[in-house]
């Protein structure tokens, strides 16, 4: 059975963070520097829930240096 989109997105973000060697704490710091007010706890909660706004997804990818995302990878 195929994973639902929430689970797929959550796994994708977690994998990208691991690939970039970025912790939740580091992601929160980078997002805050970009003007997106996040804490380690808020980042952790959003990712563990898996249901987060597209704006968070895009900001997170930009914060870790992932400039291009192929939907085939999600």
Task: Write down the pLDDT at residue 1.
Answer: 44
Average pLDDT in the 5-11 region?
91
pLDDT at 73: 85
Q: Which domains does the chain have, with CATH numbers?
A: 5-66 (1.10.260)
Question: Does 63 have pLDDT greater than 60?
Answer: yes
- pLDDT for res 2: 61
In SS3 terms, the chain reads as: CCCCHHHHHHHHHHHHHHHCCCCHHHHHHHHHHCCCCCCHHHHHHHHHHCCCCHHHHHHHHHHCCCCCCCHHHC
Each residue of 13-62: pLDDT tens digit? 999 999 999 999 999 999 999 999 999 999 999 999 888 999 999 999 99
Are residues 64 and 26 in contact, defined by beta-carbon separation less than 8 angstroms? no
């Amino acid at each position: 059975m195929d994973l639902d989109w929430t689970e797929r997105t959550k796994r994708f973000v977690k994998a990208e963070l691991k690939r970039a060697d970025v912790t939740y704490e580091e992601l929160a710091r980078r997002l805050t520097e970009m003007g997106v007010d996040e804490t380690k706890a808020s980042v952790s909660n959003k990712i563990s829930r898996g249901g987060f706004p597209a704006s968070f997804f895009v900001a997170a990818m930009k914060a870790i240096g992932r400039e291009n995302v192929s939907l085939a990878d999600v």
